[in-house]
């Protein structure tokens, strides 16, 4: 293939015809942020986070799809380029009706990872749940014992019926730790980071959207205010609606917001509906309001023989990721679900018990 030379940020780079500007930047060790790009998947340029400026033409182009041309002179780090990337991330966040952290964790003075504890209990991983508590106790006493239970007060479940009995579950677990540590279970990041990190906010939810959150709970939950055993703890944990984000420690969108020091935009486009879909066979969870419509999940399985795969339905603003209209979300097979979760750059696609810190 024909070789040529281009410049990125005044560095001369030898490239081959057919390579993208992003490829060229990587050869030279120049970092260009990306969001909707994943190596090995056909690029589609939807997020505009990888924009660069063609200095000769004075126009902006997405580096993940724009091909190199002989003599190109590219600005990949100037002020205008950074401003455009920031704008792209801000736009995505303005229709992102989701919370990186659950309210129960945000108000906890210790930043204890309550949703993670609930997921471990629901999965029947009692020892792991107890080990999470042990690691959060850091060799001292559990703060919950002397706390006014801010978490219970903030729990979103109280808008449906009664809050999850978080404090009592935690105290029970702290008194029933395995004698010797069996597993290492991490709360994923420290209490300081819970408040310091970028946090997307969901804004007001209407009554229908509130019910979408309930989809994560079994139809019938057995509630226990007092917790006398692991079974009761797990039954009570099942009433948790998982209003945190399973991608909170690895979300690319969150990382980019932090990289560009972006605050969550005030006021969100209310036309991004909060819709949840649960695949009861594979545990795949789809949350529409966390989806940036990058299409990676669609393209990742485009050549796969495992049917049915995910696709876009509707057009324009109301387009969304969905199962094909002729099947149910439960019909998305395990292999497709796995590939889609792997490539999703946000928490829009995850497995129910994912992010369990074990
Ligand atoms: S998808 Fe990312 S930005 Fe959105 S709520 Fe989850 S962690 Fe936060
Ligand atoms: S429903 Fe679950 S995740 Fe949400 S605030 Fe209550 S305990 Fe936390
Ligand atoms: S579900 Fe994830 S991978 Fe699929 S379009 Fe949305 S953000 Fe992209
Ligand atoms: S990474 Fe290039 S447009 Fe999204």
- pLDDT bin (cut points 50, 70, 90) of residue 358 is very low
What is the per-residue pLDDT for 6? Answer: 98
Q: What is the secondary structure of 186-235 as a DSSP string?
A: --SS-HHHHHHS---------HHHHHHHHTTS-SS----SS--SHHHHHH
- 85 and 111 belong to one structural domain: no
Give nearest CA residue, ligand 3 atom 7: 291
What is the average per-residue pLDDT within 36-55? Answer: 96
332 close to ligand 3 (CB < 6 Angstrom): no
- Side-chain half-sphere exposure of 172, counting CA atoms within 13 A: 23
- 110 and 167 belong to one structural domain: yes
The answer on pLDDT for 307 being more than 60 is yes
- 344 and 230 belong to one structural domain: yes
Residue 256 lies in a domain: yes
Residue 342 lies in a domain: yes
Q: Residue 259 is encoded by which pair of tokens?
A: 């990289």
Give nearest CA residue, ligand 3 atom 6: 291
- 176 and 134 belong to one structural domain: yes
Mutation probe of ligand 3 site: the residue of 95, 97, 295, 296 with most atoms within 8 A of C-beta: 296
Out of 31, 59, 92, a domain closes at 92
The answer on pLDDT for 243 being more than 60 is yes
Residue 357 lies in a domain: no
- 107 and 36 belong to one structural domain: no
pLDDT tens sequence across 247-293? 998 999 999 999 999 999 987 776 788 999 999 999 999 999 999 99
- 87 and 108 belong to one structural domain: no
- 132 and 60 belong to one structural domain: no
Give nearest CA residue, ligand 1 atom 5: 100
Out of 64, 92, 120, a domain closes at 92
Q: How far is the CA of 54 from the centre of ligand 2 (A)?
A: 48
Query: Which one is predicted more confidently, 255 or 210?
Result: 255
Q: How far is the CA of 255 from the centre of ligand 2 (A)?
A: 24
What is the average per-residue pLDDT within 10-14? Answer: 98
Out of 92, 119, 143, a domain closes at 92
What is the per-residue pLDDT for 179? Answer: 85
The answer on pLDDT for 175 being more than 70 is yes
Mutation probe of ligand 2 site: the residue of 103, 119, 150, 156 with most atoms within 8 A of C-beta: 156
Residue range of the domain that includes 114:
103-351
3-state SS string for 226-265: CCCCHHHHHHHHCCCCCCCCCCCCCCHHHHHHHHCCCCCC
- Looking up residue 8, the CATH number of its domain turns out to be 3.10.20.740
Residue 302 lies in a domain: yes
Give nearest CA residue, ligand 3 atom 2: 344
Nearest to 293 by CA among 101, 63, 99, 96: 96
Residue 312 forms beta bridges with which residues? Answer: 321
- 82 and 216 belong to one structural domain: no
């Amino acid at each position: 293939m024909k070789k040529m030379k281009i410049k990125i940020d005044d560095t001369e780079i030898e490239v081959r015809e057919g390579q993208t500007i992003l490829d060229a930047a990587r050869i030279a060790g120049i970092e260009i942020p990306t969001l909707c790009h994943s190596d090995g998947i056909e690029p589609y340029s939807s997020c505009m986070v990888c924009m660069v400026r063609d200095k000769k033409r004075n126009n902006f182009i997405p580096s993940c799809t724009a091909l190199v041309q002989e003599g190109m002179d590219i600005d990949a780090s100037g002020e205008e380029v950074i401003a455009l990337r920031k704008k792209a991330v801000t736009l995505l966040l303005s229709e992102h009706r989701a919370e990186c952290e659950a309210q129960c964790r945000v108000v906890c003075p210790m930043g204890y990872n309550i949703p993670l504890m609930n997921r471990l209990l629901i999965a029947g991983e009692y020892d792991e749940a107890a080990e999470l508590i042990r690691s959060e106790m850091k060799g001292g006493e559990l703060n919950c014992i002397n706390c006014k239970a801010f978490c219970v007060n903030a729990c979103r479940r109280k808008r449906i019926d009664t809050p999850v009995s978080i404090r009592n579950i935690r105290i029970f677990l702290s008194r029933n730790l395995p004698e010797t540590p069996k597993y290492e279970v991490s709360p994923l990041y420290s209490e300081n980071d819970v408040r310091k990190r970028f946090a997307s906010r969901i804004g007001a939810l209407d009554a229908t959207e509130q019910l979408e959150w309930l989809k994560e709970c079994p139809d019938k939950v057995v509630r226990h205010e007092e917790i006398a055993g692991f079974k009761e703890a797990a039954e009570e944990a099942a009433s948790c609606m998982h209003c945190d984000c399973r991608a909170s420690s690895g979300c690319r969108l969150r990382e980019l917001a932090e990289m560009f020091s972006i605050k969550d935009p005030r006021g969100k486009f209310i036309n991004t509906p909060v819709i949840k879909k649960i695949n009861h066979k594979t545990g795949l969870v789809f949350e529409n309001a966390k989806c940036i419509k990058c299409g990676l999940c669609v393209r990742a399985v485009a050549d796969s023989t495992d049917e049915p795969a995910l696709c876009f339905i509707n057009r324009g603003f109301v387009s969304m990721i969905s199962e094909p209209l002729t099947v149910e979300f439960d019909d998305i097979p395990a292999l497709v679900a796995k590939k889609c979760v792997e490539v999703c750059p946000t928490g829009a696609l995850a497995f129910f018990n994912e992010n369990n810190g074990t």
